Structure 1
Amino acid sequence: MTNGSDPFLDLVERVADDLGRPEGGSLRGSELAAEAGFSRFHYDRLIEAVSGETPARFLARILLERAAYRMTTSERTLLDVATEAGFGSHAAFTRAFRRAYGMTPSSWRERPGRYQLEAPNQVHFHPPGGLRIPAAGAGVDIAAGGVDGGSPLLAVLDVTGAAWVQPLVRVGAVTASLGALLALLAGVSRTTLAMARERDLPERLAQIEQRHSVPRTAQVVIGLVVMSLVALVDLRGAIGFSSFGVLVYYAVANLSALRQPPEDRYWPRLLGAVGLVGCVTLAAMLPLASVLSRLCVLLAGCLYRLVVARRQGGGEAHTAQRYPET
């Protein structure tokens, strides 16, 4: 994968690379999802939302288009063409081909037509062994090896003769990124403030600014960490890592709601149980690497909190001393 910013373009380039190999045609949706750092469930829905097709349907269509082209430009047997397209038998290939083209492979070879099938994304097999992406009247050919660079949108603007828009696109991207960062800082500010008040953060990060009563140092560090992640790492792994942490946060909140006494509860316990099950279910669908790495961080945080509590002579006693009941 070469373009972490566009999963569908990554998929197109990966398929183009596979088509350029002699043994190409063996890709599977689970393999593509693992390479992209997503679960199969999330990856299928992400690609379908962008392209109108799941990865499996996209792959099947491209391979059928290549098979239709092969039958009209080569002397390969139908069984060889079927095997290259990833089918285990001539019968299975014939059924799939008939559904797509309305005729059997043998009839197609005698009376060929347009090999490109209708597709919502208009990405098609492009002879001899690549793919073609349409772009506002011009086409971008993705051959084996893919497209260099990590800015597919800027590349499309360049191809379509709209390079003058690139500065506006860059400004828009920076503005959107800053907006997302500010939203993140606002979202974690309450948690950070609570941790600072309870001394759950290291001493330097737990300092609360007197004028506005916010942990300014901790928030600045969080902002720097986020910007470093954007600049240095593949965000797909970071998103999975962050998603698991958010799900743990809400799972704890739902579990706490289940333990509330009846007189303090506004909503039925069933709502908390459904929320808890939902959090656990979504967490189970995340990539295993993201889950394991986040669990390690959570374990390290728990160990740190245990050490700090022991040094303070017991976290509960310390809290009671700082916040007496009124």
Structure 2
Amino acid sequence: MKKQIAKKIPYLALAGFICAVGIGSPQISLAKQGNAAPKVVNQQSQKTLQKIEIGQKIRVPELKLKENTYALDYKISDVTGDSVKDQVILVGTKEKINGKLDAYASNLSVIVQDGKTKKYVKYDWLSKGTDGKLYGELGREPNLIIGDYTGNKVNDIIVTAPQGGNGGYVDHLILTWEGNKLKDVLAKGVVADNQELYANSQANFSLKLPVSWKGYYKANQYAGASANKIMPSAKHVVQFDYKGKNGKDSEMLLMISVFSKNDWSRLSSEQQGPPVGSVITEANGMVYVYTTPQSNPFDPQSKDGKLFDQLYRDLNIKSSFKLLK
């Protein structure tokens, strides 16, 4: 599938444009892919929120969604801050290619049904193309992550939209609930010092990167056998590489590896020579470890050498790292 727009900045949550709609007396109908008849569920007749099945067509008549709109991911969590769980649905349109649904979804939107009022709010994730026009964001198997990223004790919504291709970059959108609407966190300047947020739902962590890193790094993700090749016994590896002033030089700035607790204990006991890295935290049977270069790979007096040192000093891994829910 050809992309409509060209992305220039990987791992940066692009500023979205809001389309929030509150509707009363909602109904939602779900139709399985294929020719199954739609199943209509009146949300207000349910004491608990109706579970949405990922991969089903979704129709909320009041929101006037396109016919080929599908539920791409789904969470139940309080994102409005009223202690009542809400429905959070990531939706997008899909086309059929050779009789099968494309792996890419276009026109990504987030729908929240308020658990208390049962009203819907929709946020359309739009980004500007190289022609200056606005297009609906697209992604390959995008997903939702719920967590308090603004530090206000209320869960926020993050959408990851992998773009695929040789670059392998991921677009992010972070939404917070404010004034009965969904608002883009980074567009509002909520993240301190305009930090960029890297999030990895598979490895289950996020990292706030200093503003000085913008344009000077590339994050490479590895999992399973690929991760094991980079760091033996690791389940996940994310390597943040420095991109030189000339755009050609590439050297590791930071690597985060995720091990099972048993594997990490074994590695630690068998380790000879310099340690693999330092433990950031342990959770759910996994150990998160960071590794940094032992020395500056560039001439310290060169432009790249000075910038490399600056980026290294600007990052506080302990305060920037956060586990996802």
TM range (shorter): under 0.3
Structure number having the greater strand percentage: 2
Question: What TM-score do the two structures reach when normalised by structure 1?
Answer: 0.21
Query: Who wins on radius of gyration, i.e. which is larger?
Result: 1
Structure number having the greater helix percentage: 1
Specify which structure has the bigger relative contact order, considering alpha-carbon pairs within 8 angstroms and separated by 6 or more residues: 1
